[in-house]
Structure 1
Amino acid sequence: MLPSFAARPQDGERDPRDERAVFTAVVYALTSGRAWRHLPPTFGTSPATAHRRCTIWTEAGLRRRLHRAVPDELRARGQADWTSVILDAASGRAKTGDR
Structure 2
Amino acid sequence: MVINNLLLKLKNRDADNIKKTQEVLLSMRGKIEVLIDIQAEINIRPGESNYDIILITKFASLEDLDKYLIHPNHLEVAKFIGSVLDTQASVCYSL
TM-score (norm 1): 0.31
Q: Per residue, is there more helix in 1 or in 2?
A: 1
Q: Which has the higher strand share?
A: 2
